[in-house]
Amino acid sequence: MVFNAWPFFVFLPVVFVLFWTIPQRLRTPLLAAASLWFYSSWDWRFLPLLLFSCVVDWAAGIGIEDAKTTRMRRVWIGVSLVTQLGMLAVFKYLDFGIESAARMLNALGFEVHWETLGIILPVGISFYTFQSLSYTLDVYRGSLRATRSLLRFTAFVAFFPQLVAGPIERASHLLDQFATPRTFDMALAKDGLRQMLWGLFLKTVIADQCAGAVDRAMAHPETTDGWQLLAGTWLFAFQIYGDFAGYSHIAIGCARLFGFELMRNFANPYFASSPVEFWRRWHISLSTWFRDYVYIPLGGNRSGPVRRRVNVFLTFLLSGIWHGAGAQFAVWGAFHGAFVALAPERKPDAGSSRPVLAAIRVLVMFQIVCVGWIFFRARGLGDAVATLHGIGRALAAPDLAGIRAAFLDEPRHVWALFAGIAVVCAIEWAQRAEPHPFRTLARRPTAVRWVIYLATALAVVVLGRMQSVPFIYFQF
Amino acid sequence: MDDRPTTLEHPLRLSARVAAFLALLAAATFGLDAGLWALRDRGVRLLPEAPPSEVDLLYAGEGRVLYLGDSVVGWIPADEPGAASLGGLVAETSPRPVALAASAGRGPHYVAAQLDLLLARGIRPACVVVPVNLQSFGPTWERNPRVQAEDLRRAFTSGTWLPTRALFVLKVEFGQTSFDEWLQTPVVVAGRVRGNVRSMEHDESLPAEVLGGRRLVARYAADLGVSRWLPLLSAAVERVAAAGIPVVVYITPVHPGHPSHAVDPADRAAISANLDILAARFSLPGVTFRNFGRGLSHEDFDSSLAQPNGHLRLDARRRLAASIAEAIRAAVQVTR
């Protein structure tokens, strides 16, 4: 069940009405049951895996808290880490490992014919394992009390709005919300609906429409004109933003209908003017997860500037590997790691007194991010190198016909995509102080609000893509 | 913990507002749709995809010979660069200007929807030409989920574009056959199950002549009794003819098989019986019917050993085009 398909538009109102109809004590069980049902609608065979993950970390949390000795606490955190990371290793990386090892041995002259196991990646496993791990790690650190309620813990890990693609919540933020009686907050729920509408627009109109043009431009990088590759790369930057930020907006808005607050996941990342700032704005829940549970335990910035840079690099490398089993993801992580590690630390608002300089910085930063997206989007390193090579060739010898064909390609409406992106950027810039662009509509007259809601919904109907385009982050 | 249910006032009020908004959205969608169609009737297009460009092909048929169909109409063999397609050759010899509205992979259900849209929008061609491709009524095509063009078909049939589009944006798809289900569809010839689509059409491991022979049987000899598209198309043709629009229906040439295909005589008889069924079905009042299904040699077709289909080579296209032009002439004269 995906957020932009009709089953969800039946599921959500039913759960919403039931949730606010039943007594408080039944609400967490309802959310847990609804979430498990939501997850099983993807593939019921992976439901036991999710439940197993919940039970192990719930027990580990209690085990850590009740342990009388440091050794027992370590044993329990070890159980949690081995279980969650083990699940990730088996389901996400085992086939890749087998394939890579066989390729390497063959390259060294050994003749091996190892078959991969054909393991299917359970949807959302990277997200819920990390969310669950954050709980046991916080309990281990002593910054969080363990919950005794398995039901509440299951509801926290499996909470359907953010189960399959985040935001990756912290127990300290979300788990307690399940323990607190929920009272209906009209303003919060309305704002949630507005945020969902914006997310749906980003996904169906921007991301999905860009997807077709990106697929065409990037399918054969060796033989495609460099300007088309450049246009495809820029469009992919907005495809992945519309896709993932759209999903996050829908998730956060959906949780608000039930009175829950999820953390912000995107804060206008393409307005960042430095690598550090970009990562404060992009996939915030993952960036802060790696900061808190990898970078800081590695030593953070406590051991001098050189060690800090090494720690930053390693953290980003791991973040890249988290995204997928493939060398291109590791390179993507390393690429960003190198930039963040080497970039001078600047305050986010530095340069704001000189808007032209700030705009140039933002544009340069966007191009750096796009170079990273080339690796992220590529099927392998070969494709990424071919794309970079093609773009480099085009930039070295600019040709007007090529530029026109790539950016004003009339039959494919590439120009219309860029126009739509410009509109989205203008809206997000105008509303950059808000967590989502539709928040300030609450202060507008009713007629203005409804016209904007209607226009946005009509845009989804008129311009939304009809073919199925899966959410990109569901594959991670 | 407070165990009292929360008052329903607010959640229900919000639900009511959402319902009101959705009703308004539906009204706006239908209203905008009606406006777009009304403008389209006057030759104005505002949005590139609404209504879709394939509607333009039908509007272009106003007062002309509107030639529908699938790739058989538009096919030009790779080794005949610069040559005209069958549609182009018909246009050269037709007594009236021809508007081509044929697209590759479009089945009879789509053609039926095109015919219904002509009537719904009041488009009156001088003549409508409907090729009937026997292959398209078999399980290899009729059940193939990849060639359904379901969004266009629904939009054409219902006469609405944006509401249909909205359903597809939100992935409202009922009863769609999956690719795997399609591969399991049985191929029934003369009442006997001969295999399924996977074994008869998709087993690429077979030698070309064996696969070609199987495909020939699956495509042309499969029983027509289970076809959903056959009654759909004949009924649509009947409606257009009843509206006083001259209609030419012809059965497209059927590939007779390569000598190495070694087709069983019983299978050949089944193909022949199918052609008779089609002929009986489309010999309708007010319809100029021609049966070109038989009589061509395998050398008249531009198809590989493994892919017997209805794509013709130039000489055969020329001969067929002359016959189609003659049928158009007859149909237009009859109506006068």
pLDDT computed for residue B2 by the predictor? 46
Which of A2, A13, A181 is closest, CB to CB, to B1?
Answer: A181
* Alpha carbons B231 and B237: distance in angstroms, whole number: 10
DSSP state of B259: G
Query: Over 60: is that where the pLDDT of B42 sits?
Result: yes
**Distance, CA of B250 to CA of B272 (rounded, Å):** 15
**Which backbone phi and psi does A265 adopt, to 5 degrees?**
-110, -25
Strands B247-251 and B127-132: parallel
CA–CA dist B188, B181 (Å, integer): 16
Contact flag B11-A184 (C-beta cutoff 8 Å) = yes
Say yes or no for a CB contact (<8 Å) between A6 and B14. no
- Domain limits of chain A? 6-182, 187-273+351-475
Taking Cα atoms as reference points, which of A143, A178, A139, A140 lies closest to residue A158? A178
User: Across the interface, do A4 and B171 touch by the CB < 8 Å criterion?
Assistant: yes
**Which tokens is A73 given?**
């606490």
pLDDT at A473: 62
- Tell which wins on pLDDT, B80 or A324: B80
- What lies within 8 Å, CB to CB, of B3 at 6+ separation is A23, A24, A25
Q: Which residue has the higher pLDDT, B1 or B164?
A: B164
- B6, pLDDT greater than 80: no
CB pair distance less than 8 Å for B50 and A189: no
- CA of B4 vs chain A CAs: smallest distance (Å): 5
Asked if B320 and B250 count as a contact pair (C-beta separation under 8 A), the reply is no
Phi, psi at B249, each rounded to 5°: -115, 130
A345-359: b or e for each residue (b if 16 or more CB lie within 10 Å)?
eeeeeebeeeeeebe
Which residues partner with B128 through β-bridges? B66, B247
Q: How many CB atoms lie within 10 A of CB A305?
A: 9
Q: In a 3-state reduction of DSSP, which class is residue A264?
A: coil
Distance CA A399, CA B248 (A): 51
CB B196: neighbour CB atoms within 10 A?
17
Domains of chain B, residue spans: 12-46, 49-335
pLDDT for B246: 95
A-to-B residue pairs, Cβ atoms closer than 8 angstroms: 89
Optimal mutation site among A184, A200, A463, interface B, most CBs of chain B within 10 A: A184
pLDDT class of B1 with cuts at 50, 70, 90: very low
Instruction: Give pLDDT, residue A399.
Output: 84
Name which of A415, A466, A467, A469 to mutate to probe chain B: the one with the most chain B Cβ atoms within 10 A of its Cβ: A466
A264: left (phi over 0), alpha (psi -120 to 50) or beta: beta
Q: Least CB-CB distance to B15: which of A5, A13, A182?
A: A13
Structure token digits, residue A350: 């530095």
State how far residue A391 is from chain B, nearest Cα, in angstroms.
Answer: 30
Residue A266: which of A275, A253, A278 has the closest Cα? A278
Cβ A468–B47 below 8 Å, yes or no?
no
Rounded to the nearest angstrom, the minimum Cα separation between A458 and chain B is 7
Catalytic residue among A323, A389, A413, A436: A323
CB spacing of A22 vs B5 below 8 angstroms: yes
The torsion defined by the Cα of B205, B206, B209 and B210, in degrees rounded to 10, comes to: -150
A1 contact B CB<8A: no
| Among the partner residues B10, B18, B162, nearest to A461 by beta-carbon distance | B162
Q: Return the CATH class of domain B49-335.
A: alpha beta
The pLDDT assigned to A15 comes to 95
* A186 Cβ under 8 Å from any chain B Cβ: yes
Locate A114 and state its tokens: 């190892």
- Give the DSSP per-residue string, B142-179: HT-GGG--HHHHHHHHHT-SHHHHHHHHTT---SPPPH
User: How many residues belong to chain B?
Assistant: 336
* Rounded-to-integer distance, Cα A424 and Cα A419, Å: 9
Three-state SS for A335-393 is HHHHHHHHCCCCCCCCCCCCHHHHHHHHHHHHHHHHHHHHHHHCCCHHHHHHHHHHHHH
Closest Cβ–Cβ partner in B7, B24, B165 for A466? B165
B18 has a pLDDT exceeding 60 = yes
Q: Which residues of B10-27 are buried (b: 16+ CB within 10 A; e: fewer)?
A: ebeebbeeeeebeeebee
Cross-chain Cβ contact A24/B4 below 8 Å: yes
pLDDT band at B3 (very low <50, low <70, confident <90, very high): very low
User: Treating both helix axes as pointing N-terminal to C-terminal, what angle do A150-158 and A171-179 enclose, rounded to 10 degrees?
Assistant: 120
Residues of A in contact with B166 (CB under 8 A): 461
Cβ atoms of A314 and A338 within 8 Å: the answer is no
Whose tokens are 């016909």? That residue is A401
Whether residue B211 has pLDDT greater than 70: yes
A407 with A415: CB under 8 angstroms?
yes
The verdict on A26 touching B (C-beta cutoff 8 Å) is: no
Please check the confidence at residue B15 and state whether its pLDDT lies above 50.
yes
Q: Do B14 and A25 touch (CB under 8 A)?
A: no
Q: State the pLDDT at residue B99.
A: 94
Record the tokens describing residue A21, joined without a space: 């109809």
Find all residues with CB under 8 Å of A163, minimum gap 6, and list them: A35, A38, A39, A124, A127, A128, A157
Residues from chain A contacting residue B1 (CB–CB below 8 Å) = 24-25, 181
DSSP count for chain B of H helices, then E strands: 14, 7
Which residues of chain B neighbour A460 with C-beta distances below 8 Å?
Answer: 169
Is residue B116 a contact partner of residue B243, using CB atoms and an 8 Å limit?
no
Q: Does A449 touch chain B (CB under 8 A)?
A: no
List, in order, residues 6 or more apart from A169 with CB less than 8 Å away: A131, A134, A156, A159, A162, A262, A263, A285
What are the pLDDT digits (tens) for B228-255?
999 999 999 999 999 999 999 999 999 9
Contact B170 A4 (CB under 8 A): yes
Q: B134 to chain A nearest CA, in Å?
A: 29
**CA torsion, points A22, A23, A25, A28, in degrees to nearest 10?**
30
The whole-number pLDDT of residue B44 equals 78
* CB contact at 8 A, A183 and A260: no
- Of residues A5, A20, A458, nearest to B28 (C-beta): A458
> Is B169 close to A465, i.e. CB distance below 8 A?
yes
C-alpha distance from B178 to closest chain A C-alpha (Å): 14
Q: Is A436 a catalytic residue?
A: no
The half-sphere exposure of A160 on its side-chain side, counting CA atoms within 13 A, is 27
What number of residues does chain A have?
476
Residue A7: the pLDDT is 86
Alpha-carbon distance of A215 to A379, in angstroms, equals 12
Of A20, A25, A181, the CB nearest to B11: A20
CB of A451 less than 8 A from some CB of B:
no
pLDDT in the model for residue A379: 85
**Consecutive 10-residue averages of pLDDT for chain A (476 residues):** 82 93 92 94 86 94 92 93 89 74 74 64 85 94 92 94 88 91 90 95 92 87 89 94 94 95 94 91 93 89 85 91 84 92 67 78 93 90 91 88 77 80 93 91 90 94 76 62
Report chain B residues touching chain A, CB-CB < 8 A.
Answer: 1-8, 10-15, 18, 21, 24-25, 28-29, 32, 47-48, 50, 151, 162, 165-172
Is the Cβ–Cβ distance between B292 and B253 less than 8 Å? yes
Mean pLDDT over the full length of chain B: 89
Q: What is the distance in angstroms between the Cα of B168 and the nearest Cα belonging to chain A?
A: 5
Residues in Cβ contact with B59 at an 8 Å cutoff, skipping those fewer than 6 apart:
B40, B43, B121, B123
More confident site: B8 or A49: A49
Q: Please give the pLDDT value at position A36.
A: 94
**How far is A27 from A444, CA to CA, in rounded Å?**
34
| A21 contact B CB<8A | yes
Q: What is the pLDDT of residues B108-145, one digit of tens each?
A: 999 999 999 999 989 999 999 999 999 999 999 998 88
What count of other Cβ atoms lies within 10 Å of the Cβ of residue A475?
12
DSSP-based helix, strand, coil % in chain B, nearest 5: 55, 10, 35
Q: Helix A446-463 crosses helix A186-201 at what angle (to 10 degrees)? A: 30
> To the nearest whole angstrom, how far is the Cα of B153 from the nearest Cα of chain A?
14
- For B34-65, the DSSP string reads HHHHHHHHTT---BTTBS-HHHHHHHTTTTSE
